[in-house]
Structure 1
Amino acid sequence: MTILQDTVITSSDYQNDSDFLDLASYEDITNGICKPNFLIDVMGKVSDLGAVATVQAKGVDTKRVHFRLLDASGNEIACCLWGKYAEQIEKHLEEESDEIEICLIRFAKISHFRGEVQITNAFDASLMFLNPTMEEAVDFKQKIEDNPLPLAIFDQDNEKKIMKTAAENWNDVNVRCISEILQSVEPENCKIICSIESIDTDWGWFYFGCNRHNRRLTKVGRNSSVKMNKSIAPQFYCDVCRSTCSNFSPKFKLHLSVKDDSEACRIMLLDTIAMTIIGVKASELWDGSFAEIEDPDLLPAPIQNLVGKSFCFGVKITSDNYSNGSDTFKVSEVWSGDYIQRIESLSEPLSLNETNSSTLSGGEIPAIECSNENSSEDFATPKNKRKEDGRDQMDMTSTSKKLCSKIVKKEKTEK
């Protein structure tokens, strides 16, 4: 649409609440029916999400992220997002308690890279929504759940192979030692049973988030870089609302140092997950002050009381852990009490410092060692986990082995 000097623009009483969403078919995109001269709307299930990287684009450092979208019929398409869209995904992964399942990109651009059709942002004109709640997105998610499909993707050598998706049912996820997850070389979900050693006060225990979108807010205005008065609220900007936000509240973001019999690591719990172990909302512990925290070691009592307690945490191992060497894992689920006791009933008791927790590598076998399936010497076994009977220890050196209960008859031989 071109506006000339003699163009006349008048107001209209016409109103329409429609989002005017016109989702393009994956087949039409890959077959060339959708022309690259026009921007399109595309939505799909996120798979093979890579790490957000900083690269040089025209001499400027720019964030970039690669992933693939899957439609309800099993078709998929490559995506590459730049700049603020890659930063939006990075913020979601750092601050939100839920993983990215559905992605909607409006006014997306069709491009080609290394002979493959891909979706990218049209400079700053595109709009991206992660886990949208509109009716079309809810219907799409329901179709995906009703018709689970394997994900067939291309790797960097453009060779087609089947990728195994991370288990979404935490009942099917094995319990692992911390020493094992620190040595992981691929993304996966797992459980760890550990005790909380300390609260990492290098990070604040809360942030201000939008109550509508549960997104972290950015302090804006002339008071954004100065120390605030205790009772005067600064202005906050929401990336999703695309405006200043007045409906906000404190949200939990806890960094904990945890330990089991094998090793120690750090975990991060966001608002709703942290609330399950603290028992109250962050707004109930907040003192109402907008001033900068002068002494980070002064924590509310319910948070301090977490030290020494044991939980079973469902953690996600991401590329930041196995590629970048980060020892901080994001927590997606928490269990305690009877759940831990049920796991302990399947295993040989192990000692944690002043706790009753146990650590095992799988919920199906009665006892295991923290070892790789291909090698039993990669990790040292704690003394209290070793059996006195050497035969038992020999039979249980792999997490995939079970004790043989079948009696084998020996053939009689004549003297």
Structure 2
Amino acid sequence: MEFVLADETGQKIHATCKQTYIESKGRILTVGAWRYIRNFQITPAGGTYRTTDHTWKIVFNQNTAVSRSNHVNDELYLNLSDFQTVLSGTLDENFLIDVLGQVLDCGGVENIQCTGGKQRKKLEFTLSDINDSRLPCCIWGNLAEILHSAINQEVGMVTMLLRFAKLGRFRGELQISNAFDASQMMINPSIPEAEAFKELINDDDKTLTSFQSNEDNNKQVAQSGKRGQRDKWLLFPTKSIYEMITSTQVSSY
């Protein structure tokens, strides 16, 4: 069993418990509950799916003791990544990140044939922040169906928090995806960060657009209220000629 622990200051550390000890030690490790943990080992943290930036990780052993605590705190201890920083390509892709944004466009759930003949469900969409920076996203498995169902039921803005998201590249393009079962998704979460986000973009006219994913043909622009094929230009903000003339931002194409 793999999990993340946080202390009262919000510092997080990865922890692991072998199946041998799950029944005796892991059964009271409820998500969101506070516990006292004593007598454990620490080893260097590593790998390509690192949940924290801590140098070490905790390893439970036969002497590890877990007991209940009366401490109560519902803080999620998020480390939200700035979209511009993510898009800059400077982040270490071995570390999982937290992202919060508005879902702007969403395709249909696809069944993808994976290695070994197993099929996995895939959903492509875009997340936008308050500066209209946009992250291409692709989630797999049950999360794909959950998000697609929620989008079809929601009226108005849809916000999404994806915790422990994997930063990677697909055919050279940067993309955010879920890291197997490690990622946690919250749709329209009732948390201070999401409420502040909604207030900041409440006056914007950005609306959710649906499209049909087609890797061989992405030239048709998705129109509001209709399903079309995804246009990669939807990933970039629209500007008027005047805005381009008066712009001071330097970019390369």
SS where residue 60 of structure 2 aligns? coil
Amino acid at match of 2:227: T
User: Max radius of gyration: which structure?
Assistant: 1
Structure 1 Cα separation of the partners of residues 140 and 118 of structure 2 = 12
Structure 2 Cα separation of the partners of residues 13 and 97 of structure 1 = 38
8 Å Cα contact 1:102/1:132 also seen in 2 = yes
Structure 1 Cα separation of the partners of residues 215 and 119 of structure 2 = 23
SS where residue 85 of structure 1 aligns? helix
8 Å Cα contact 1:47/1:68 also seen in 2 = yes
Instruction: Note closer, same or farther for the CA distance 1:97–1:66 as it changes in structure 2 (3 Å cut).
Output: closer
Alignment of 1:68-83 (within 5 A): 68-83=126-141
SS where residue 16 of structure 1 aligns? coil
Q: Which residue of 1 aligns with 2:190?
A: 133
2:148 to 90, 114, 134: 90
TM-score for both structures, normalised by structure 1: 0.36
Q: Which residue of 2 aligns with 1:349?
A: none
Amino acid at match of 1:29: V
Q: What is the CA-CA distance between 1:65 and the residue it aligns to?
A: 0.7
8 Å Cα contact 2:151/2:158 also seen in 1 = no
Structure 2 Cα separation of the partners of residues 33 and 3 of structure 1 = 34
Q: Which residue of 2 aligns with 1:188?
A: 224
Q: What is the CA-CA distance between 1:33 and the residue it aligns to?
A: 4.0
Structure 2 Cα separation of the partners of residues 28 and 4 of structure 1 = 39
1:101 to 158, 164, 176: 158
Instruction: Note closer, same or farther for the CA distance 1:116–1:101 as it changes in structure 2 (3 Å cut).
Output: same
Q: Which residue of 1 aligns with 2:121?
A: 63
Alignment of 1:196-211 (within 5 A): none
Instruction: Note closer, same or farther for the CA distance 1:127–1:81 as it changes in structure 2 (3 Å cut).
Output: same
Q: What is the CA-CA distance between 1:156 and the residue it aligns to?
A: 5.8
Question: Per-residue displacement from partner, 1:164-192 (whole Å, max 9, x unpaired)?
Answer: xxxxxxxxxxxxxxxxxxxxxx4423xxx
8 Å Cα contact 1:56/1:62 also seen in 2 = yes
Instruction: Note closer, same or farther for the CA distance 1:78–1:9 as it changes in structure 2 (3 Å cut).
Output: same
Instruction: Note closer, same or farther for the CA distance 1:34–1:4 as it changes in structure 2 (3 Å cut).
Output: farther
Instruction: Note closer, same or farther for the CA distance 1:35–1:7 as it changes in structure 2 (3 Å cut).
Output: farther
- RCO higher in 1 or 2 (8 Å CA, sep ≥ 6)? 2
2:227 to 312, 318, 321: 318
Structure 2 Cα separation of the partners of residues 66 and 29 of structure 1 = 18
Structure 2 unaligned regions, length at least 5: 1-14, 16-58, 209-213, 231-253
Instruction: Note closer, same or farther for the CA distance 1:15–1:26 as it changes in structure 2 (3 Å cut).
Output: same
SS where residue 198 of structure 2 aligns? helix
Amino acid at match of 2:147: I
SS where residue 181 of structure 2 aligns? coil
Equivalences, count: 166
Kindly report the root-mean-square deviation, in angstroms, between the aligned alpha carbons of the 2 structures. Answer: 3.3
Q: What is the CA-CA distance between 1:148 and the residue it aligns to?
A: 5.5
1:51 to 93, 97, 108: 108
Alignment of 1:169-248 (within 5 A): 186-189=222-225
Q: Which residue of 2 aligns with 1:260?
A: none
TM-score for both structures, normalised by structure 2: 0.56
Q: Which residue of 2 aligns with 1:381?
A: none
Q: Which residue of 1 aligns with 2:173?
A: 116
Question: Per-residue displacement from partner, 1:206-250 (whole Å, max 9, x unpaired)?
Answer: xxxxxxxxxxxxxxxxxxxxxxxxxxxxxxxxxxxxxxxxxxxxx
Instruction: Note closer, same or farther for the CA distance 1:40–1:187 as it changes in structure 2 (3 Å cut).
Output: same
8 Å Cα contact 1:93/1:99 also seen in 2 = no
Q: Which residue of 1 aligns with 2:79?
A: 22
Q: Which residue of 2 aligns with 1:144?
A: 201
Structure 1 Cα separation of the partners of residues 151 and 74 of structure 2 = 31
Q: Which residue of 2 aligns with 1:228?
A: none
Amino acid at match of 2:187: L
Amino acid at match of 1:89: L
Amino acid at match of 2:122: R
Instruction: Note closer, same or farther for the CA distance 1:100–1:81 as it changes in structure 2 (3 Å cut).
Output: farther
Instruction: Note closer, same or farther for the CA distance 1:52–1:187 as it changes in structure 2 (3 Å cut).
Output: farther
Instruction: Note closer, same or farther for the CA distance 1:31–1:19 as it changes in structure 2 (3 Å cut).
Output: same
8 Å Cα contact 2:98/2:162 also seen in 1 = yes
Structure 1 unaligned regions, length at least 5: 164-185, 190-316, 324-415
SS where residue 145 of structure 1 aligns? coil
